[in-house]
Amino acid sequence: MSKIKEDALIISQTREAAGTFRMRLKSPRIAAKARPGQFVMLQVREGPEPLLRRPFSFHAIALEEGVFDILYRVVGRGTWLLSQCPPGARLNILGPLGNGFDLPDGEPSLVFLAAGGIGIAPLVELMARLRESHPAVAMRLFYGARTAEEMIPTDAIESLGVTVHRSTDDGSAGYHGWVGELMKATAEAEGLKPEILFACGPLPMQRHIAKWALEKSVPAQLSLESLMACGLGACLGCALPATSSPTSDPAVREDHYLHVCKDGPIFPAGAIEWQKMQIHQTQPRIFPYS
Ligand code: FES
pLDDT (tens digit per residue) in 169-204 = 999 999 999 999 999 999 999 999 999 999 999 999
Mutate to test the pocket of ligand 1, among 38, 40, 224, 262 (most ligand atoms within 8 A of CB): 262
CA 200 to ligand 1 center in whole angstroms:
19
User: Does 98 sit in the ligand 1 pocket, CB within 6 Å?
Assistant: no
Q: How far apart are the CA of 31 and the centre of ligand 1, in A?
A: 22
| Number of CB atoms found within 10 A of residue 276's CB | 14
CB of 52 within 6 A of ligand 1: the answer is: no
CB distance 259 to ligand 1 below 6 Å: yes
* Residue to probe by mutation, ligand 1, list 238, 257, 267, most atoms within 8 Å of CB: 238
Alpha-helical runs (H) found in the chain? 28-33, 77-83, 121-133, 155-158, 179-190, 203-216, 260-263, 278-281
- Band (237; pLDDT cuts 50, 70, 90): confident
Residue 166: enclosing H or E segment and its boundaries?
strand 162-168
Question: How far apart are the C-alpha atoms of 140 and 223, rounded to whole Å?
Answer: 17
User: In this structure, are strands 220-223 and 266-268 parallel, antiparallel, or unpaired?
Assistant: antiparallel
- Report pTM: 0.91
User: For the residues 2-20, what does the mean pLDDT come to?
Assistant: 95
Q: Of 254, 277, 258, give the one whose Cα is nearest residue 266.
A: 258
The one-letter amino acid at 265: P
- What percentage of the chain carries pLDDT values higher than 90? 74
Check residue 127 and give its pLDDT: 98
Burial tier of 64 (Cβ tally within 10 Å: 0-12, 13-18, 19+):
exposed
User: How much of the chain exceeds pLDDT 70, in percent?
Assistant: 89
Name the band, by pLDDT with cuts 50, 70 and 90, for residue 285.
very low
Which one of 40, 54, 232, 290 would you pick to mutate in the ligand 1 pocket, going by the greatest count of ligand atoms within 8 A of its CB? 232
Would the CB of 269 count as within 6 Å of ligand 1?
no
Give me ligand 1 centre to Cα 3, in Å.
Answer: 15
237 lines ligand 1 (CB under 6 A): yes
Please tell me if the CB atom of residue 41 comes closer than 6 angstroms to any atom of ligand 1. Answer: no
- Digit-coded pLDDT (tens) for 120-160: 999 999 999 999 999 999 999 999 999 999 999 999 999 99
- Centre of ligand 1 from the C-alpha of residue 238, in Å: 5
Residue 257 Cα to ligand 1 midpoint, Å, equals 12
Q: How do residues 39-80 score in pLDDT, each as one tens digit? A: 999 998 766 666 678 999 999 999 999 999 999 999 988 899
Q: So what's the pLDDT on residue 279?
A: 45
Ligand 1 binding pocket includes 231 (Cβ within 6 Å)? yes
Distance 136 CA to ligand 1 centre (A): 38
